[in-house]
Structure 1
């Protein structure tokens, strides 16, 4: 039962990751990192497929081996968070406490992304 749950969750996360590759502001890599973790517990074949994928495999392996995020991915992630905050601010017109809270949460996420090594040589 546990194996099937991880398999279904991995497939759903893979689907979300694929959608994220085409939809602006929707993340891709985090869904695929989580999918690979699910496949570790359910399907070594699907895990290998993700890790060996020509487009996503190198990033997934870098994360798994070193907790690394490539510089381009860091820049895109931080730019996406900043753009998302600007859209939020323009559409919602939040009060100061909400704007500060959302801004602080996004700043904490950006700080985490920027704190990660950029590759094997940086770890």
Structure 2
């Protein structure tokens, strides 16, 4: 399902979305090197913000080797890879165990948090998985936000 066509935004709204996109992208980049900070969720926020402010920047984010296709699969089709599901479930389990250890295994906290995380895990594992076989890292031309292919004036964004 392609993104809807871009609409005209006021200059302040566009700059605010670009600032949000850049902040989220940089936070995700930091998360690529720090195990306690996630990467893909911040890049999903960045792709959303860039998609509304600058389709060319969104296409560049989708073209990042390794992570871009996962962000694109989630934003355009709501798909999550099996590896992503495993990492997310493992992160939730590690978070639940950390909360238990820090809060001295208080059941009044652990039971509701565990139920919430279990619900998220069930939802997560029911999401469809993308088929990356034969996928290239180039932006998909069927998306309505590819890197502009027209004249130089259209390429500037």
Fold similarity call, TM over 0.5: yes
Aligned to 1:60: 71
Determine if the alignment matches structure 1 residue 9 to structure 2 residue 20: yes
Query: Aligned partners of 2:36 and 2:88: how far apart in 1?
Result: 9
Superposed CA RMSD: 1.6
Which one of 41, 48, 57 corresponds to residue 37 of structure 1?
Answer: 48
The answer as to 2:32 corresponding to 1:21 is yes
Q: Describe the SS at the equivalent of 1:22.
A: coil
Larger RCO of the pair (alpha carbons < 8 Å, separation 6+): 2
Which has a greater percent of helix?
A: 1
Cα deviation code 1:79-103 (max 9, x no counterpart): 1110111111112225222111111
Give yes or no for the alignment of 1:74 onto 2:74.
no
Q: What is the rounded CA distance, in whole Å, between the counterparts of 1:108 and 1:20 in structure 2? A: 25
For structure 2, the 5+ residue unaligned runs are 1-11, 133-157
* Secondary structure, aligned partner of 2:33: coil
Q: Aligned residue for 1:83?
A: 94
Structure number with bigger Rg: 2
Q: Which runs of 4+ in 1 moved over 3 A?
A: none
Counting matched residue pairs gives 121
